[in-house]
A and B are shown apart, each in its own frame.
Chain A
Amino acid sequence: MPEQPVTEPQDSQEEEQERGLSQRIGARQDAIAGAPAVDGPAAAPRGPREAIFGLEEVQVSYGPKPAVRGVNFDIGKNEITALIGPSGCGKSTLIRCLNRMNDLIPGARVEGKVRYHGQDLYAPQVDAVEVRKRIGMVFQKPNPFPKSIFDNIAFGPRVLGMKGSMDEIVERALTQGALWDEVKDRLKTNAFGMSGGQQQRLCIARCLAVNPDVILMDEPCSALDPISTGKIEDLMMELKQEYSIVIVTHNMQQAARVSDKTAFFTVELDDEEHRSGRVVEFDDTEKIFTNPADPRTEAYVTGKVG
């Protein structure tokens, strides 16, 4: 995808908004063919950053009852947005509808508006495969392919038909994934021989190799030890210079350490004992953890419940 600059010019805000961003949005509108730009209050930038995702009354259901509903917030460019909350609150469900991974689950239904650069992600003419090319995902458990380290990285660029030297693409992705120095001498060995933390960084590098715009991370450190977790957190801080990141985490310290914005979810029981998730509060991470508006958020982040 040559139209997509790997490094955004880090100029002043105005300049960036005038030049780099409009270019980038233009490229994207061409790419996701025919998707109408939806104008609405939720698509407007919130604060100084431009919104990459605008979520408006989003509700996801696997069957008759919603798994998560009432989601209204924007996800900003070059920010790390954390989704926190107790188990079963729909964080993972929500993150999976940002790159249409829920399409793969029979019976999954998304209502409301999910806007990506102002375009309705669920408009009928939008191709889910095109969406996933731009919005990468890292999963809870490292899921390297049963292939060599090189082929793990090269798989995405190959299926997308990316031009250029595959060696360079692989080296760049592994360098960005902070893995190059550890694996450069064994690129041909099977990825299953790596440690869990290395495997997860390989999965991040694999996702970077296709030049995504956004990286979604669904509890990326839940299967890792604290040292590997630290490495991935450092990596995330670096990556947000170029990418926008959404992370689901159970680890509140992690959310507090790495994220710029935090959405707190909770579980609600209806009259028939059906559990569904709902967003309680969305704000700057600092505010969520020091001065939350909602008492439920405070109880959760201070460890009184959950």
Chain B
Amino acid sequence: MRKRYRELIYAIVGIVVITAVYLGVYVLAGELPAASSFVGHWTGVIGFVVMLLAETVYSIRKQARNAKWGRMVGWLRAHIVMGVVGPYMVLLHSAMHFHGLAGVVMLLTVGVVISGVVGRYIYTAIPREIEGVDPARLAATRKALATWRSVHIPLTWTLFATATVHAVAALYYVTLSR
């Protein structure tokens, strides 16, 4: 049971640690760190990088089928943990303000995470045993997984495209502004 939910436990531990640090900053500063503050800014940057890694590293590992960099299930687990922790950091970065394009980025992030959660349960529904599997059930789950992929991946692309524009705008209007 515990093994089955290991990635969720890791994700919850990550969220608890990040929340503790964030609350520490909140108590010291007396207010939520604004998105443009040092803590808020870097929470967003790191969250974005974690999300980007969650996607790319997992895909690269999947493509390199012959490589021996750990088992695929381990990488999927890392994908899920990073895909939960990264968006959580992005949510903290928003400081609960959802305005303009930045608000759209947050909305897409939530969409990708929800689709990820759905995908994880479709994935676990795939029969693991080789013999005695109902071919119809196998075909149905594979089809469901393929359909899910056709939503999850384009949604992620839209998210990253919007997030990149948001980051460039932040660089232009704030970070590089003299």
The reply to whether chain A is a binding partner of chain B is: no
Q: Chain A residues in contact with chain B, CB under 8 A? A: none
Chain B contacts to A: CB under 8 angstroms: none
